[in-house]
Structure 1
């Protein structure tokens, strides 16, 4: 018995040494990883994410620094929380770090295989990006569609005017969502997809919001590949059902267009759908119906949700800070007057309004953790190694609140941007709500025009008050985490003439 116990002890000891050597070799192969919390067995640091990972990771960065390593299950994750490191990631090492870590929810209906947002930077991704940039987001295209945006914003103002006359509160996020969605649907289909007064509008908005929350929700299948196929938390199944609802709508619109194109002497719409159908009919084209519907999901979900949430946050911050609201309205009245409708060309003469949008995006970036990147090969950042296939998270929320960059970073102070050249278009890494580099959001030019025009029009046409005698201090300014950062309690406010 003594010999058997001795040999058992020797075997266990040798096995442990062997495992430790393997781990040491793996660590050596990875190089010197950035610092981070010591991982627990199997789960790593998963429990440190909490229900608001952007805030949890920002807090951890105060201990471990702006370039940090977390082991999330079996996934090595590098977290970036400062402008300096973000520039290293998104500019200097952009090519190596432009891959995508595909979350399991996005595998619903094979979405990741044709999604411009989730494809790796391959030939297919470049073709889709060129297609959208050329036919939707170029300066020339946006200039030519200026009248359409003006029309949609005027419909928004008319809707709010009706509520103003009856003293009803307006759900700002919902109204902005409809305006943004119909602008996109007219660009793509030449029709309005929803109506401001329709009950189905809220259902459509809820559908988009739920997709954003589910896709952004921490999912065990993303951290433990072995359990991914069983979809333990049901997230992929829920997203599949929501994607199917959108695909059904798009199928109906595509079928209608194909029927009309088959009829003789039917005039072409020459919208984005016509363009895509033309492309798909070319011999050897890789663009099929599934690809078209996937592209539409990307455009409609991202385009409508980010613009409407930014406008809702801007109005919330102004109502929460009445002096900023008064300054903005005074600037608009002095620059434009009271009789004239706000036009896009007026925005350049409204520096305080532009500062409000920048300050809103600083505090409430539409995508708090930019879509996860993936290292295509090992690379060195600031003396640390980013190993091949590591997930890279850029915490835009933390960068916008970095006390080393911003004075009084948690306060809403639009004036900080007056006289400043800092912008959110991907060149200034202290403000990157839409990302930067080759994976910057392609819809930024449209969102930029739409948010400024809607906000200026709302402030120009109406004064605003909180309902039921609520004071600014009583407003709920909390948010809920998802791919986008949405208000926990929707902003409902009463428009007042003048």
Structure 2
């Protein structure tokens, strides 16, 4: 059965929800202002757009930086300025540290036992600590440099073989990032990697897709009627089978004395040695593995895509970045030490994250208790959306906020570490992305290699200003059409 669409729902909703709509009492709370709400669906229709972050910013400019939306049965508050983002993620962080419960997170992440979707509490705190200290520490991320280098060598050979002919830069970077993350997480022994990646993208699409039932918690039967739940359970069963094989293989093989631990090894070691206030189950390990595999794949490749897009559109910036990397790097291999000296390249990455955050709407939070923000009542269980893109383009915080100007970060103390709320591509507070360092390594190192080894141009004589930069929000906010480029090896460039 085809999934119910918003149009078909409007037809059936008059019967299904008329009684519910009539008897639902009006709250006496002093909620934030917001746009008018349609009967039954409220403001759902305003999020059915390719760029919801832009629509929400436009609404915020009319109704205020803290805004109430009624999304079906789900009361939702959207904040769109750095000041209010600080209120949510710092001043009242503990009150907004939960995640909304969703059917998909329960199914795919073993009853939300991962780090991204687990409810705030002792289990989440301990798993976040393991992730920060053991899985994704700066030292651990550096230990994966050989994996990144090996994959970039492979990509370089492919580009050299296709010198002067158009390549799909988007698909190339997606494949590269997937390969690195899979090897860092699972090692070299995953015989089902191709099938696993296919399933992971299906999961990501499911998590980001419009699902009517998520706005009507009392009517989860819609997921059953539409066939969605059966499809999700089938996907999860396939994923679980691959996860079980991965754990079995790692336990059987063990690690040789001088062999590098992958992230599965680390989790299994922590599980066996204990030391926590609770026992880690295999399902917990599998949930965190899936977190590692899904969190950085599309976001890293999308950031690379946008960075290269902006450089192609700004030839002088491209030239300056290439001059820097080619003057810093000695020999034919870029090292981690070289990367620390690439000042302008780091400015480009920061500006890309500001203007083209891969997840412009941060993963939703949920209010744990009645709270007051900016003079408005926020009842417990309210869904909270922080528009990070709106904060990153806030005219009170940034000059020419929608222009790509890497130099704005030169001599600026503003960073993406969560303390500057005008720039929060990784979030902030307790729920800041623990994979920040790993994610940056998957952008800076490949970008440096692309700029050092190759010159780049658009195919078929296309001019930079002719490049279509229409964006669309799917798994992340990316170009509507894949980026096609021509790579010319440095040795052949004129």
TM-score of the aligned structures, taking structure 2 as reference length: 0.86
CA distance in structure 2 between the aligned counterparts of 1:138 and 1:480, rounded to whole angstroms = 32
Question: Does residue 1:343 correspond to 2:340, yes or no?
Answer: no
CA distance in structure 2 between the aligned counterparts of 1:114 and 1:440, rounded to whole angstroms = 17
Q: Which residue of 2 aligns with 1:444?
A: 436
Per mean C-alpha deviation after superposition, the further-off stretch among 385-394 and 150-159 is 150-159
Contact 1:425 1:436 in 2 (8 A): yes
1:248-305 CA-partner distances (Å, limit 9, x unpaired): 33333222223335x9x99976433233334445689633332222222111111222
1:322-348 CA-partner distances (Å, limit 9, x unpaired): 2221221122223336x4422222233
CA distance in structure 1 between the aligned counterparts of 2:98 and 2:445, rounded to whole angstroms = 34
Q: Which residue of 2 aligns with 1:429?
A: 421
SS of 1:156's equivalent?
Answer: helix
The 3 A distance-change label for structure 1 pair 55 and 233 is farther
CA distance in structure 2 between the aligned counterparts of 1:60 and 1:210, rounded to whole angstroms = 31
1:132-169 CA-partner distances (Å, limit 9, x unpaired): 212222123233443443333333333323332xx343
CA distance in structure 1 between the aligned counterparts of 2:432 and 2:396, rounded to whole angstroms = 24
The one of 28, 32, 35 equivalent to 1:34 is 32
CA distance in structure 2 between the aligned counterparts of 1:252 and 1:382, rounded to whole angstroms = 51
Question: Does residue 1:180 correspond to 2:172, yes or no?
Answer: no
Q: Which residue of 1 aligns with 2:266?
A: 275
CA RMSD of aligned residues (A): 2.9
Contact 2:66 2:80 in 1 (8 A): yes
SS of 2:156's equivalent?
Answer: helix
Contact 2:196 2:242 in 1 (8 A): no
CA distance in structure 2 between the aligned counterparts of 1:112 and 1:96, rounded to whole angstroms = 22
CA distance in structure 2 between the aligned counterparts of 1:323 and 1:189, rounded to whole angstroms = 40
Q: Which residue of 2 aligns with 1:286?
A: 279
Contact 2:98 2:368 in 1 (8 A): yes
CA deviation after TM superposition for structure 1 residue 219, in Å: 1.9
The answer for unaligned runs of 5 or more in structure 1 is 1-18
1:62-82 CA-partner distances (Å, limit 9, x unpaired): 111111011111111000111
CA distance in structure 2 between the aligned counterparts of 1:334 and 1:282, rounded to whole angstroms = 48
Contact 1:68 1:80 in 2 (8 A): yes
Question: Does residue 1:117 correspond to 2:108, yes or no?
Answer: no
SS of 2:95's equivalent?
Answer: coil
Q: Which residue of 2 aligns with 1:320?
A: 313
CA distance in structure 1 between the aligned counterparts of 2:326 and 2:272, rounded to whole angstroms = 52
The 3 A distance-change label for structure 1 pair 464 and 119 is same
Q: Which residue of 1 aligns with 2:8?
A: none
The answer for unaligned runs of 5 or more in structure 2 is 1-20
Contact 2:185 2:293 in 1 (8 A): no
CA distance in structure 2 between the aligned counterparts of 1:267 and 1:334, rounded to whole angstroms = 35
CA deviation after TM superposition for structure 1 residue 315, in Å: 0.8
Contact 1:379 1:386 in 2 (8 A): yes
Per mean C-alpha deviation after superposition, the further-off stretch among 71-80 and 237-246 is 237-246
Q: Which residue of 2 aligns with 1:9?
A: none
The one of 454, 462, 468 equivalent to 2:454 is 462
CA deviation after TM superposition for structure 1 residue 475, in Å: 1.9
CA distance in structure 2 between the aligned counterparts of 1:270 and 1:452, rounded to whole angstroms = 23
Aligned length: 466
CA deviation after TM superposition for structure 1 residue 391, in Å: 0.3
CA distance in structure 1 between the aligned counterparts of 2:188 and 2:343, rounded to whole angstroms = 34
CA deviation after TM superposition for structure 1 residue 92, in Å: 0.8
Contact 2:196 2:239 in 1 (8 A): no
**Pairwise mapping of residues 194-205 of structure 1 onto structure 2 (< 5 A)?**
none
Question: Does residue 1:257 correspond to 2:250, yes or no?
Answer: yes
The one of 290, 296, 299 equivalent to 2:289 is 296
TM-score of the aligned structures, taking structure 1 as reference length: 0.85
CA distance in structure 2 between the aligned counterparts of 1:34 and 1:85, rounded to whole angstroms = 12
Per mean C-alpha deviation after superposition, the further-off stretch among 132-141 and 250-259 is 250-259
CA distance in structure 2 between the aligned counterparts of 1:160 and 1:20, rounded to whole angstroms = 63
CA distance in structure 1 between the aligned counterparts of 2:233 and 2:76, rounded to whole angstroms = 26
